Amino acid sequence: MIPDRAGNVADWEFDKLVVILLRQFKRPLEAQNITLSNAQITQIGEDTAARRPLNDDAQAVRAALVAVIAESEAVLVQWKLTFAQSLRTEMTNMPGWETTADFLDVANEKINAEVRISAGASLLTILGDPRHASYLLQAIDHDLHTDGRLDVDAMIAKRALLHAAAIPADAHDWLDQARAWVQAQHNHTT
């Protein structure tokens, strides 16, 4: 039986989800001069789950994530792709490869950029900065239109939106509520 990884993500305690995301970003954060101990990571997870104010470590992570997402957006721009376009673009339609090795390099670069944008926007939204929350909707919409169910990244995006917008997990109209929240955040910042 194939494991339901997205279902597992849906069941994780929220503080554990944040811890896993922070650990996923260990190297990108270190490249931004942010090194967190396990205790610091755990504290950020507990604080966000309890909706406590962000400490200095979490504030620094937020600033670094903005830079990490910008770097990943730049990777996609080199192929003239937005995040949503990249999700819809099959690897066979990607430019810049001729050999199998080239194909694998381009695929790795594309997938890493997509994951860093999606997971980074999720973590950034969880940490109270919704500037890239529209990426979360794009990840969710892509999965719903592709095969009708959420993969791991889209489930993380859903959980980030539910948390940030204080939408109950069992709300039947969670996606409509999330869209309205993202739109309100966008209107508030423009």
Distances (CA, A) of 15 to 9, 22, 74, 173: 12, 11, 30, 24
pTM, rounded to two decimals: 0.92
Tokens 């959420």 belong to residue: 150
Q: Name the percent of the chain lying above pLDDT 70.
A: 97
pLDDT tens-digit map of 155-173: 999 999 999 999 999 999 9
Which of residues 93 and 132 earns the better pLDDT score?
132
Question: How far does the chain reach from its first CA to its final CA, in angstroms?
Answer: 48
- What confidence score (pLDDT) does residue 3 get? 55
Pick the closest to residue 185 from 150, 114, 113, 136 (CA basis).
136
Q: Is 160 within 8 Å of 122 (Cβ atoms)?
A: yes
pLDDT tens-digit map of 35-67: 999 999 999 999 999 999 999 999 999 999 999
- What confidence score (pLDDT) does residue 94 get? 82
CA distance 125 to 123: 5
- What confidence score (pLDDT) does residue 183 get? 95
The DSSP-derived string for 135-178 is: HHHHHHHHHHHHTSS--HHHHHHHHHHHHHHT--TT-TTHHHHH
Q: Is 158 within 8 Å of 174 (Cβ atoms)?
A: yes
pLDDT band at 22 (very low <50, low <70, confident <90, very high): very high
Q: How many domains does the structure of the chain reveal?
A: 1
Distances (CA, A) of 84 to 52, 135, 137, 140, 177: 32, 8, 10, 10, 21
pLDDT tens-digit map of 109-146: 999 999 999 999 999 999 999 999 999 999 999 998 88
**What would the mean pLDDT of 16-33 be, rounded to a whole number?**
95
Range of the domain at 18: 5-189
CA distance 18 to 168: 18
CA distance 142 to 140: 5
Residues 6+ apart with CB under 8 A from 56: none
- Looking at residue 154, its amino acid is A
Q: For 13-17, 71-75, 92-96, which range has the lowest pLDDT when averaged over its residues? A: 92-96
